[in-house]
Structures are given as structure tokens and as C-alpha cells.
Structure 1
């Protein structure tokens, strides 16, 4: 099916989801990250939807609408998410490096795999051409020997056959 048929439906679904999300009440904390029991980083990060800020030692809801928490909420170097011993900035850098290395290694593997497959195909083609060349050479030698036999028969018939000894015609019999 064409993309033009599906595109309006997809846009409508996404727009409907966005309107539904806008209609929700965002003033009340949904996960309880700012509860009084979250006095330290470990308690706060036990809930994956929470973010710990070291500057003011507060547990806040992770801003899911934005990928990175805004500076007004907490600076990246002071934000902790997932584990307390790594700041959010270092986590982003480390994950970017790991992701880049994985993508690069995947590209290199694909390149090498495609290259070796192409080399195998060329090798098969070269072997096929070599076999055909050898077959042509064998057929040519067969035709050459057949022509020699035929010419020798004609020479015998008309008495023009050459002897192996080239001095035999000078001998008197």
C-alpha cells in the first residue's frame, strides 16, 4: 500500500495521543518522588521515574516530556538517575560512546561481511571462467588433432605423406 494512505491515519493517532496527554493534570506528582521518605539518593532512585538533584538534595519527577532535564530543574552535572555514583552528564557521555562504538562495529561488520561475500562471488566467477577456458583449450586441441589426422589421411591418399625421416627421398631404392 502507498504511504499516502497511511500517513493521515498515523498523524491523527499521534495528534490524538498528544491531546490526551495535554488534558492530564500535571500539577500533582504521579509517582511520589517528592515524598518525604526520599531523603537520600538511594531511596529516591529506587523508583525509576525519579531524578535526584545533588545541589538541593531533592528527589523530583523525571521530566519525561523532555529527554534531558532542564537547567531550571537541575544541572546535568548534579543530576543522578539510575545510580547515585554517576552523574547524568557522565552517563549520557558514556552511553553515547558505547552506542557509537556499537554502531561503528556493526557498520564495520556489515562492510566486511558484504566485502567477503562479494569476494566469494568473484572467486566463484573466476573459477567458472577458468573451467570454461580449460574446456575450450581441450576442445581446440581435440579439433587440432582431428584436423591433423584428416590431413594425414588426405596426404596418404594422394601420396604426399611426409615420412619421419626427411632424408628418405634421397635414398635410391
Structure 2
């Protein structure tokens, strides 16, 4: 401490540095949490855009006839105007697809890849966002110390994942 400086000046300088560090921690963790949620939206949007924005896309049903190597295939029967029947389209087996059942699907443009449509397809498409919300809740709770916000993020993530699990069954 400098002799000419009163003792309160060093205390206020210390408080200012602690406040600056606290602000830096909250800003950094906030940026990381936003980045995690953005990555979840980005990861979900690849499939969610086809399931949510169905105008102009081929919609129909698939009767699953064979499953192998993580994909199932079957005949596509169109239900939308402009869609054409196809002998074989593929759908990911990870979407709780079973041989012999029929599912509502939407086809990705320019290929024979099908995505489940309806509530099950919408919820399943947003699963990466649910995981990102769970991860962001940990960052918000630990790094920003905003426990209520973290609980909200975590519960939203768990709710989304649970709803998707129930819907695809």
C-alpha cells in the first residue's frame, strides 16, 4: 500500500477487480451457453426443416419391409399432391422403426431418404436441441450461478427428450 493513499482506496480497487473478474466469468460462461444452444439448434435444423416446413415436399407413408445396418426400407405411398410412389425409400432405424409397420414420412429433396413426420418426427428432429439445453443448464448453473435459469433449461431439455422418446414408441 502506498503511504499517501488512504486504506479505503486499496479496498475499493480490490472490489473493482473482483467485480471485473465476476463480470468476465459471467460473460464468458454466458457466451459458451449461447454457443451450446445455438449448436443444438443448428444440429436439429438439418432434419427439422424438412419435417416442419412440408409445403412442396413429398409426403406419404412407408410400409417397412426390411431393416439392416441401422436403416430400414420399404415402399413409399404418396399422400400429397405432386408426390410419386417409390418402390424403396430408407428411414433411420434409430427412430423406433419396426419391420411390418407403416409410418407417416416426408422425403428429403433429391433422394430416397425419409424422415418421420407428425408429432413424433417433429420431436425427434429436435433431440439435439434437448441435449444442448441439458448441457447449457450445467454451464449456466456452474459458471454463471443462475440456478433458476439453469433449472428451467434443464427441465426444458429433459421434457423435450422425454416427449421425443414417448412419441416415437
Same fold (TM over 0.5): no
TM-score by length of 1: 0.31
Higher relative contact order (CA 8 A, sep 6+): 2
Could you state the TM-score of these two structures normalised by the residue count of structure 2? 0.32
Hey, which of these two has a bigger chunk of strand by percent? 2
